[in-house]
Chains A and B, each alone.
Chain A
Amino acid sequence: MKSFDTILKECEALSFDLNFTHAKKWKAEKSDRILVGYLPIYVPREIIHAANGLPVGIMGSGDRKQIIKGDAYYQSYICHFPRGIIELALDKNLDNFDGFMFPAICDCVRNLSGMFKLSQKGKFQRYFDYPQNFEPQTGGVFYIQEMEKVMEDMYAINKIKVTDEKLNKAIKLYNKNRKLIEAIYAIRQQYPWRLSAVETYHILRAGIVIPVEEHNEILSQVVEYISNERGEPMDNIRVVVSGSFCEQPPVGLIKSIEMAGCYIVDDDFMLGSRWIQGDINENSNSPLSALSSAYINQSTFSSAYYDVGNPKGKRLVDLAQKRNADGVIFSAASFCDPALLDRPEMQKECDAAGIPHINFQFHENTGQFKVIKEQAGTFSDSIKLWA
């Protein structure tokens, strides 16, 4: 078994390897393997796995890459995320990828799918339309059709037929993955000092660029390590961070929140890996229906999804209460319409439930955290003082 430090270092390196070396190496080992890049938030990775593919999460270039060409493709009032993606594409970081999936979360990501089409990046560029209708017979059927399109795209490349057996096997692997991730969150809920938010972030982010089998191995070891005492408890407040589901905050920002005296007990940074709540049926005669039903009935919430009937503000409050959080930090990317349009309503719900909150906006390449640190520090102090 590797030492915990080695695991953490490896995960950190994997999370920010913008050349996706590990994934490309995996693909090179066999001729019928394919790489499918996907953007935030969620795609059913199981179908890619079952087609001998590796789903690779592309979460932007963060503060690890200078944006030169990307800026020439986007006006100043559009979030930073897509310009980083274009930069990666133009710099050949995404070469060797067979196709790309663009989940239907906002107009920027949607139009980015068209930009990939126009520049013919990859063999397919699939805009993955989620149903906004949550009736199984309507939206559920539509979702299956959307998955089938991607399966056809992949089949055209490697001629691998996705069987029910392969799909069920993939579902099982991803069930395990989500379960282990939730185990980490559960341990951190009780003992947040055992694994910092930044370490958690690296561990989860590494998981979206390597095979799930390898990630499950890493997660099992992490769970084992943090089942034992590690670190020192501090007099920190407990917060939920909300609004960073797509463009990722720089690691410095996450660190600043922690250093300012806040344990992040839940967040939406790597939300796609935790999108489905609970297990998906892994012994079904129709695994596509099982995936669809999980999407319809077991999805978590995010600003990028329609919520009438099950409002996000309430769900955020429930989450904060479940995690026993002292407060909520709204942290959204600048110019992120979905997150920012939700903010007033979500804040109102927090007020109604008596949950204190603060908010800030960031760019994935923000380099200055002084103000954020001060703001989070004051937030933490005031909660400690008045709680």
Chain B
Amino acid sequence: MAAPTEAIKEKSMILQKDMLAKQFHDLSKAKELGKKVVYTFVPGNITELILSFDMLPVYPEINALQSGMRKKSASFIKDAEKIGFSEDVCTYVKCDIGMMLNGNIGPTGEKLPSPDLLLLSYTGCFTFLKWFENLERLYPGVPVAMLHTPYQEDGQITKDQIDYMVKQLKEDVIPKMEKVSGKKYDPARLSEMMKNSAKAEDLLVKVLESAKNVPTPIDAYFAGVYYIGPIFTAFRGTTAAVEYYTELWNEVQERMRLGLGPVTPEGEIKEQKFRLVMEGPPNWTNFREFWKIFYDMGAVIVASSYTKVGGVYDLGFRHDPTEPLESLAKYCMGCYTNMNLPQRVGLIEKYVKEYKADGFLINSIKSCNSFSAGQLMIMREIEQRCGVPVGFIESDLVDPRYFSYANIKNRLESYFQMLEQRKIILKRDGIEAG
């Protein structure tokens, strides 16, 4: 296989790269600058609240995925296994622990600061609990604030659940943040940030929904996680995020006007043969190779569930400056992995139909029970409800031992052949695909 060439980048991508680099640089200087550091997670993050105290968030999963992309995860995982972590468990945790065992050097090569506060909001995944129990032991004495997010067990968010979360915010999380940061909670500032959040959210939804166009100007999975989504978490609530999404939305509109397809690391996809909806996280260790299999075959992802772990904004949720804490609670409970299985099926069904998809594909991740347990049932349901061909591949987030290029390529090729056949038959019978 040819060595990957330098990726082709749009203006928004460069903007994002700069923002992320600055973020990691600020983190490396946090102690000198007197900034307090909060370790927390992406799904159900309460970034605005952290930022409203002028603290800097660190997301261990982002470090893990970056380590995966930079080919460092394999040795980190091995180091964690050496100290007793089983081969069977989530590799994000092991990668993160391995990184800490190796001096906590972040993705940009700069050392990440130790946490001043461990903020455990464990939306949609129990492994987060375990992860933080481990972090708590690695950083003895660092205060831990817990924000328990109730699951959407009935497929809805109830008032009791909101009250429970707001109470935790008021009685535990905020007092601990005040103590650590030395600042008073400022609801006006938080509301102000939420105005920015809502603006960025509007723009993000426009970008994601642009994939309803045929041809689509974006890839809602690979590009979705690569340059559309990542900025969202750490910067939500800031004017920089609004600027970034304004720029991105302008670019996407321009692409639509010109009838251009998604940007890939090797330029624009010329022919869009298959439109797919994708479920499950991507593989990070071989991200470009993985993506390439798709764009080489003319397959574009028009909607994905993974890009909704940080919020399902396309279902209408926006952070609301008039009720900031309630809105944080609703946000946490609304994230994709906190939706029950019938809701997940319903959302995917909606995507397949509204985005006129030719097929539904699952990338099942060995690490991640939160996503994977139940996926085979989701697959059956979608096949029945939508009548589109469904496909299934397996890999892992950051453990390269579980990414088999040949295997995945074979499977995908057969799957694409199946889609091709179906198109021919539908065309012959005079039925529009999708």
Q: Which A residues touch B377, using CB under 8 A?
A: 73, 115, 118
User: Residue A225 at the B interface, CB < 8 A?
Assistant: no
Bound-complex Cα distance A137 to B88 (A)? 38
User: Residue B329 at the A interface, CB < 8 A?
Assistant: no
8 A Cβ contacts from A272-322 to B: 303-304, 306-308, 311
Interface string of B104-147 (1 = CB under 8 A from A): 00000000000000001010011101111110110000001010
User: A127–B340 contact, CB under 8 A?
Assistant: yes
Which residue of the partner chain B has the closest CB to A347?
B84
Bound-complex Cα distance A83 to B116 (A)? 42
Bound-complex Cα distance A338 to B150 (A)? 19
Point out residues on A near B: beta carbons under 8 Å: 72-75, 77-78, 82, 104-108, 110-115, 117-118, 126-127, 129, 131-133, 135, 137-139, 141-142, 145, 303-304, 306-308, 311, 334-338, 340-345, 347, 361
4 A-B pairs with the lowest CB-CB distances in the bound complex, closest first: A114-B341, A344-B84, A111-B374, A341-B130
Which residue of the partner chain B has the closest CB to A114?
B341
The stretch from B186-194, B261-269, B364-372 touching chain A is: B364-372
User: A342–B130 contact, CB under 8 A?
Assistant: yes
The number of inter-chain residue pairs (CB within 8 angstroms) is 147
The stretch from B167-175, B222-230, B243-251 touching chain A is: B167-175
User: B146–A306 contact, CB under 8 A?
Assistant: yes
21 A–B contacts, CB within 8 A, in A order: A75-B366, A78-B369, A106-B126, A112-B373, A113-B341, A114-B340, A114-B374, A115-B374, A126-B153, A132-B146, A133-B148, A138-B172, A142-B160, A307-B133, A337-B126, A337-B127, A341-B93, A341-B127, A343-B85, A345-B134, A347-B84
How far in angstroms is the closest Cβ of chain B from A261?
25
Whether A75 contacts B153 in the complex (CB less than 8 A), given A114-B341, A138-B164, A361-B86, comes out as: no
User: A138–B127 contact, CB under 8 A?
Assistant: no
By secondary structure, the B interface counts as helix
Bound-complex Cα distance A74 to B373 (A)? 7
Whether A135 contacts B125 in the complex (CB less than 8 A), given A118-B345, A129-B150, A334-B88, comes out as: no
Bound-complex Cα distance A141 to B130 (A)? 24
Bound-complex Cα distance A135 to B173 (A)? 13
User: Residue B383 at the A interface, CB < 8 A?
Assistant: no
Point out residues on B near A: beta carbons under 8 Å: 83-86, 88-90, 93, 120, 122, 125-127, 129-134, 136-137, 144, 146, 148, 150-151, 153, 160, 164, 167-168, 171-172, 340-342, 344-345, 364, 366, 369-370, 372-377, 381, 394
User: B151–A129 contact, CB under 8 A?
Assistant: yes
How far in angstroms is the closest Cβ of chain B from A101?
11
Which residue of the partner chain B has the closest CB to A86?
B377
Q: Beyond the given A107-B127, A337-B127, A341-B134, could you list 20 further A-B residue pairs with CB under 8 A, ordered by the A residue number? A: A75-B364, A75-B372, A77-B88, A78-B372, A78-B373, A82-B373, A111-B341, A114-B340, A131-B164, A132-B146, A133-B148, A142-B148, A145-B160, A337-B126, A338-B126, A340-B88, A340-B89, A342-B130, A342-B133, A345-B137
User: A107–B85 contact, CB under 8 A?
Assistant: no
User: A132–B148 contact, CB under 8 A?
Assistant: yes
Chain A CB within 10 A, most for which of B89, B130, B137, B146: B130
How far in angstroms is the closest Cβ of chain B from A229?
42
